[in-house]
Amino acid sequence: MLKSSYRRDVSYLFVMAFRNVHANIRASTAALLSVSVAFFSILLFDGYIRNVSDLYLNVHRYRLMYGDILIQNPMLLQKEGKSEPIAHSLTRQQQKIVDDYLASRAADVVAAIKNLDFVGTVSNGRMSTIFLSRSLEQEAGLKLRGKDFSWNALYGNPLHVGEPGQKILLGQALARTLGCRPTLKQNVVNTLGGFKDGYRAFSCDTDDVLISTTTDTGQVNSLSLNVSGITDAGLRNIDARYIMSDLKDAQTLLNTDRVGYYSVLLSERQSVDQFINEFRQTISSHYPEIQITRWQNHPVGDSYNRTVNLLKIFRNFLIFVLISISSLSIGMTFSKNVKERTNEIGLLKSLGFTRRKILSIFLLESILLCALGIIVGLICGYILLVIINTSQIYYKAGMISENVVLQINPHFAPLALCAFLLGALVLGACYLTARSTLRKSAVECLTYS
């Protein structure tokens, strides 16, 4: 009986709250809009910042082919290794150790690329400039990049297309320096940060360039290579010196069978930290010259870490500002809504309603308006989100050299947290205002003006 009576009371109070929302439609609309605008703004802004962060991650993980982890000799990062990189690269025997281990974990490893970076000079016959080359195994690189990032040439053809070897890709800025330019400038980045498939025409003053470098024995070697296409190094400051070449060509040029490092992409089911710990226990503990780390903890991840940390600070600051402004707006709107209905509170008191029941009515109204406001903000936000995501709007995203597609991809967890905070804010504003009004007598409320 008590439970049945309690349910009737709650149901009755809810019906009254709903009718009050409808009866005070102007005040209710103002309160609903204040919540909707706040949630709408947070949804769009958070979705935009998260998409930019995901874009930077995709560029490094897939397009630049760093995968999840890097394996190399740690001395390569020290002063001695930088002065003599080939001498501190992984030997054929060390490569076999790594290859055997990765083969034993085939179910956990999607792709593993052998890489060799080197510097030198590149010439088109009329001018020369310094370059930094990333040479790698093309088939392994194609496997790591996957379907959405398989085509890694902005213009021309990727290195894996056609006959292997004897060709290179030039970074955009370096290509301009050497007289290579697209026939028609296009926006070719897809929504994930990769390049759209398909050959796009370009032309060079000379089809072949001569690259020269010094071996670890001091010998100067040169190799004539065909310019297969123009690519993007991901970051503007690298693009002016960037060359991508095949690993075999680089080893021939440097007269070595060593590789600088492995970049490994793990399957989604495999924990990166667990894989690193098991590799260290199995390999690194016996061969200290072979170490493993996340690429985010490696120097190649410095620019990514700085950018993402800045985005997080910017995101948190802007959301704090939005919530602060929303707090003032929502607080004033709901407080005014309660104050304007002081006479109604007096009437309810004179009819025998207790403070608790009157407060419950106002709190239920607030919950109802807040829920409707969040729903309206969510619907409007997702409508605008769909419009933006299907409009193919290109823009510059920070240090990424190529134009990218504007996308908004909100995540559920932060939106749920924002909805909770807005709900708490609405209830708090309503509770504090209603409580102070409820302390007055029925006569004081009825004569309030």
Instruction: Quote the pLDDT of residue 113.
Output: 96
Q: Is residue 69 part of a domain?
A: no
Residues 182 and 233 in one domain: yes
Measured CA to CA, the distance from residue 107 to residue 102 in angstroms comes to: 9
Among 225, 260, 289, which residue terminates a domain?
Answer: 289
Classify 425 in phi/psi space as left (phi over 0), alpha (psi -120 to 50) or beta: alpha
DSSP 252-302: HHHT---BSEEEEEEPTTS-HHHHHHHHIIIIITT-TT-EEEEGGGSGGGH
Residues 51 and 195 in one domain: no
The alpha-helical segments, DSSP class H, found in 25-178 are 25-58, 79-83, 92-104, 138-145, 172-177
202 - beta bridge partners? Answer: 182
Residue pair 194/62 in contact by the 8 Å Cβ criterion = yes
Give the pLDDT confidence score for residue 234 in this predicted structure: 72
Residues 83, 54 share a domain: no
pLDDT value of residue 158: 93
Q: Which of 289, 317, 340 is the last residue in one of the domains?
A: 289
449 residues of the chain, pLDDT tens digit each: 444 544 555 565 566 556 666 656 676 677 778 778 888 888 888 888 888 888 889 989 999 999 999 999 998 888 887 888 888 899 999 999 999 999 999 999 999 999 999 999 999 888 889 999 999 999 999 999 999 899 999 999 999 988 877 899 999 889 999 999 999 888 888 888 888 999 999 999 888 999 999 888 888 899 999 999 999 887 777 888 999 999 999 999 999 999 999 999 999 888 999 999 999 999 998 999 999 999 999 988 888 898 888 888 888 888 788 777 777 776 676 677 667 677 777 777 777 777 777 777 777 777 777 888 888 888 988 899 899 888 888 887 766 667 888 888 888 887 888 888 878 877 777 777 777 777 777 777 777 66
pLDDT of amino acid 6: 45
Same domain, 283 and 336: no
Separation of alpha carbons 153 and 232, rounded Å: 8
In a domain, 217, yes or no: yes
Containing domain of residue 189, as a range?
74-289
Same domain membership, residue 203 and residue 138: yes
Alpha-carbon span 47 to 41, nearest angstrom: 10
User: Rounded to whole angstroms, how far apart are CA atoms 409 and 432?
Assistant: 36
What pLDDT score does 367 carry? Answer: 79
Task: Decide: 170 and 211 in contact? Cβ < 8 Å.
Answer: no
Residue 253 lies in a domain: yes
pLDDT of residue 412: 81
Total count of domains within the chain: 2
Q: What size, in residues, is the chain?
A: 449
Spatial contact of 144 and 65, defined as CB atoms under 8 Å apart: yes
Residues 215, 128 share a domain: yes
Residue 309, C-beta contacts closer than 8 angstroms, at least 6 positions apart: none
Cβ neighbourhood burial of 366 (10 Å; 0-12, 13-18, 19+): buried
Whether 101 and 249 share a structural domain: yes
